[in-house]
Amino acid sequence: MRRHSITRIASLVVLGLVLIGTLCGFVLLHQSDSFVLTPDEAHSANAVVKVKGEAPERGKGGIFYLDVLVHRATLAESWLAGFEDTSTVVPASVFLPPGGSERDEQRIDKLDIRDSKSKAAVVALRALGRKVRVEGGGVAIQSVNPLARAEGLGAGMVIVGVDGTTVRSLEQLRKLLQPHKSGETVKLQVLDGDKRRTIEAKLTTSPQAPGRPLIGIAAAGDVAPKVILPPKLKIQIDTGNLGGPSAGLAFTLEIYDSLTDRRLTHGRRIAVTGTIDLDGTVGIIGGMKQKAIGARRSGAQLLVVPQGNYAEARRWAGKVPVVGVKTLAEALRAIRASTPAD
């Protein structure tokens, strides 16, 4: 009788340990519905931006762009990140496009970084008084409805043609669709990353736009135009797996510095983040907390951020001086004001 009781107790203990182990494994390995953002080191813009005939960098200084490490969190990581003040947990609904997937987000990031490269070259050259020509580049899909997704369209794709006619802007796309009626099918030529595909899309309408043919795109915008550089000038920006638009201002400043004999940074480590538009406007970015920490850890001597991100950057940058800017012109003035004269 006693032997049976001991055996039963031992069995219950073993069962309990197995259940605890299973539960721990589930918590440690099972993915949550959120992403974790952690700081990354600052990266030399000179290492990825190459301008023909550029002056060599002075010492270990220069323009440095900032990035954030992002990955889908396990249940344990989501919980533990709350105790780590350098990390931030972001719900998947915030990180991913509406109704989209991680694949869609990756496409959008690649599209954004491609646009940033084009805009950086245009803005930097125009700031130097050089002539540069641009040509329209298509329509970027930012989100789609379920019908369009079923047909093969997805966020991050770029529409470059309708029934064989080249599309360079959202306005042109609407004009090409206008002669068609709801229920008709059109052939869309799209760029899916580096691949060109043809997708047959069935046109619909909406109560808000009766009679106007739609292809199921919930949000879209013009892609940055193709840049036609001046003769003999060659600019290459090789960013590898980097995605997103937040390095646009850094790339612009690096091109500018490369073509002005490195007189902008004077060998100092200038950390920079912010999007760039064709008119030179600097836009706000995400992950400012992690980027400011990355700038601080990398020994930056100045941190240049969008004005809208200034307060958060100042909070996490430690002793690194921070300036907030709204335009490329303001960024140039801020950097010059912080560096010694020749």
- Say if residue 202 is in the same domain as residue 241: no
Residues 6+ apart with CB under 8 A from 307: 282, 324, 325, 326
The residues that bridge with 88 in the sheet, in sequence order, are 37
Q: How distant, in Å, are the alpha carbons of 70, 243, 245, 287 from that of 37?
A: 5, 14, 17, 7
C-alpha to C-alpha distance for 77 and 89, rounded to whole angstroms: 9
Q: How many domains does the chain have?
A: 2
Phi-psi region of 52 (alpha: psi -120 to 50; beta: other; left: phi over 0): beta
Residues 265 and 290 in one domain: yes
**Nearest Cα residue to 289 out of 250, 333, 322, 265:** 322
Write out the residue range of the structural domain in which residue 208 sits: 138-222
Whether residue 102 lies inside any domain: the answer is no
- Are 288 and 244 within one domain? yes
Which of 179, 205, 222 represents a domain boundary (last residue)? 222
Question: Does 122 lie in the same domain as 152?
Answer: no
pLDDT in tens, the chain (342 residues): 444 555 555 555 555 555 554 544 444 444 666 778 889 999 999 998 998 877 777 777 899 999 988 777 676 666 565 666 787 777 767 666 666 677 777 777 776 777 788 889 999 999 999 888 877 678 888 888 887 777 888 888 889 899 989 888 888 888 898 888 888 899 999 988 778 899 998 888 766 666 778 888 877 777 777 788 877 788 888 887 777 788 999 999 999 999 988 888 888 999 999 999 888 999 999 999 999 999 999 999 999 999 999 999 999 999 999 999 999 999 999 999 986 655
SS3 sequence, the chain? Answer: CHHHHHHHHHHHHHHHHHHHHHHHHHHHHCEEEEEEEEECCCEEHHHCEEECCCCCCCCCCEEEECCEEEEEEEHHHHHHHHHCCCCEEEEHHHHCCCCCCHHHHHHHHHHHHHHHHHHHHHHHHHHCCCCCEEECCCEEEEEECHHHHHHCCCCCCEEEEECCEECCCHHHHHHHHCCCCCCCEEEEEEEECCEEEEEEEECEEECCEEEEEECCEEEEEECCCEEECCCCCCEEECCCCCCCCCCHHHHHHHHHHHCCCCCCCCCCEEEECCEECCCCEEECCCCHHHHHHHHHHCCCCEEEEEHHHHHHHHHHCCCCCEEEECEHHHHHHHHHHHCCCC
Query: Is the domain of 188 the same as that of 331?
Result: no
Structure tokens given for 69: 């490490």
The CATH number given to whatever domain includes residue 197 is 2.30.42.10
pLDDT, residue 249, reads: 97
- Say if residue 258 is in the same domain as residue 304: yes
Identify the burial level of 174 via C-beta atoms within 10 angstroms of its C-beta, where 0-12 means exposed, 13-18 middle and 19 or more buried.
middle
The CATH number assigned to the domain holding 303 equals 3.30.230.10
Q: Name every residue whose Cβ is closer than 8 Å to that of residue 282 and which is 6 or more positions away in sequence.
A: 249, 274, 275, 276, 306, 307, 325, 326, 327, 328, 330, 331
Q: Kindly state whether residue 319 falls inside one of the protein's structural domains.
A: yes
The pLDDT value recorded for residue 253 is: 97
Q: Quick one: pLDDT at residue 245? A: 84
C-alpha pair distances (Å), 128 with each of 20, 236, 304 = 65, 18, 20
Confidence (pLDDT) at 19:
55
Same domain for 211 and 237: no
**88 domain residue, yes or no:** no
261 in the same domain as 216: no
Position 306, amino acid: P
